Amino acid sequence: MTKYVLVADDQAGIRFLLDTIIRESGLEPVLAANGKEAVEKAKKYRPELIFLDIRMPVMDGVEALSKIKEEGIDACVVLMSAYTDESFLDRARNIGFSRFLRKPFDLNDVRTILRAV
């Protein structure tokens, strides 16, 4: 059975980097450039793990997280951001996420998360 990992980030470089690491881990990446796309792909692929940028166009990561949870998708969610906006994190805490990665992140941290899947 294929294990999908959703990466939602508006920065193409981050998507490319995570895509490469996910493939190296033997998992199947699914990429999204904004929160709306992330929700659509989460519904379609039902990923086990989601890397979700907080600040994205169209729909931010916290709103996307809320909609993904509403769909009953029980994935491990890793929020990512270069910013430490506590209001975003407070909203996200109320919804529920597994981990927070501050950008730029350590690739070994990403590999550790992937191994846990």
| Digit-coded pLDDT (tens) for 15-40 | 999 999 999 999 999 999 999 999 99
- 117 within some domain: no
Instruction: Find the CATH number of the domain harbouring 63.
Output: 3.40.50.2300
- 22 within some domain: yes
Give the per-residue pLDDT at 76: 94
Number of domains within the chain: 1
- 110 within some domain: no
Give the per-residue pLDDT at 85: 67
Give the per-residue pLDDT at 83: 78
Give the per-residue pLDDT at 30: 98
Model pTM score:
0.93
| Digit-coded pLDDT (tens) for 43-59 | 999 999 999 999 999 99
DSSP letters of the chain? -PPEEEEE-S-HHHHHHHHHHHHHTT-EEEEESSHHHHHHHHHHH--SEEEEESS-SSS-HHHHHHHHHHTT---EEEEEESS--HHHHHHHHHH--SEEEESSPPHHHHHHHHHH-
